[in-house]
């Protein structure tokens, strides 16, 4: 695994070196003697630009090292050459890292690019739309926020904490629109997720204080 990661990290350099060695072998002995080096060079350069080094990011994300992950992403000079599903993941990761830095404008831009390209997993699409919906709500764009959060729920949200957040946000939107029956339904769905994050649990406790007194 470490050897493979080393190869991914230095794939372009390895490709260039193999190409140079292949040309030298070709001039010295002939084409067939240099063919293997040409193939390695071609595959290395092609996969560097077509697939990219996103595999290397997983370890950084698992360790919570967002700076290390961002460094890998910034090393991708030509994201437009990436295979479309991988390019979509690239922009999702760029958006998530921008969120950790509270750079909401960049996060929104990258996540919209990811959605436009189409995400390889439906759950990732749901998580992406949820984040965009939350950002729209923060900006006071209630209509867009509601639309995106509904779309996120429909697409499917991968973890219970995020699903609970989505349902609570919809509950609050319905309360503001005075659609109390729908608000109660979304609240029940939020509780059914059994979230454990303090922020989400506190929100549930706050809403629970007065939701039972609502009509409908």
pLDDT one-digit tens code per residue, 92-142: 889 888 888 888 888 889 989 988 888 766 667 888 889 899 888 888 888
Which residue intervals of the chain are DSSP H helices?
2-9, 11-28, 31-50, 57-62, 66-74, 84-100, 104-117, 122-138, 142-155, 160-176, 180-192, 198-211
Assess whether pLDDT exceeds 90 at residue 35.
Answer: yes
Assess whether pLDDT exceeds 70 at residue 10.
Answer: yes
pLDDT one-digit tens code per residue, 176-211: 898 989 999 999 999 999 988 888 889 889 888 888
Confidence (pTM): 0.78
pLDDT number for residue 25 = 94
pLDDT-derived band of residue 78, with 50, 70 and 90 as boundaries? very high
**Measured CA distances, 179 to 94, 101, 140, 176, 188 (Å):** 37, 35, 19, 8, 15
Question: Rounded distance, CA 172 to CA 162, Å?
Answer: 15
Is residue 5 a contact partner of residue 55, using CB atoms and an 8 Å limit? yes
């Amino acid at each position: 695994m470490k050897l493979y990661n080393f190869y991914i990290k230095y794939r372009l350099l390895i490709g260039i070196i193999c190409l140079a060695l292949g040309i030298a072998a070709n001039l010295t002995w002939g084409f067939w003697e240099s063919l293997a080096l040409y193939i390695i060079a071609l595959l290395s350069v092609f996969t560097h630009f077509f697939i990219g080094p996103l595999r290397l990011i997983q370890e950084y994300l698992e360790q919570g090292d967002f700076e290390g992950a961002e460094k890998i992403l910034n090393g991708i000079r030509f994201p437009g050459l990436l295979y479309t599903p991988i390019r979509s993941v690239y922009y999702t990761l760029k958006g998530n890292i921008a969120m950790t830095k509270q750079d909401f404008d960049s996060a929104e831009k990258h996540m919209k690019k990811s959605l436009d390209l189409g995400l390889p997993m439906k759950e990732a699409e749901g998580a992406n739309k949820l984040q965009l919906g939350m950002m729209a709500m923060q900006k006071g764009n209630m209509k867009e926020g509601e639309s995106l959060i509904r779309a996120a729920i429909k697409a499917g949200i991968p973890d219970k904490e995020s699903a609970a957040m989505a349902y609570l946000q919809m509950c609050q939107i319905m309360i503001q629109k005075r659609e109390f029956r729908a608000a109660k339904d979304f609240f029940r769905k939020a509780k059914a997720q059994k979230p454990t994050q303090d922020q989400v649990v506190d929100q549930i406790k706050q809403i629970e204080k007065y939701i039972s007194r609502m009509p409908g």
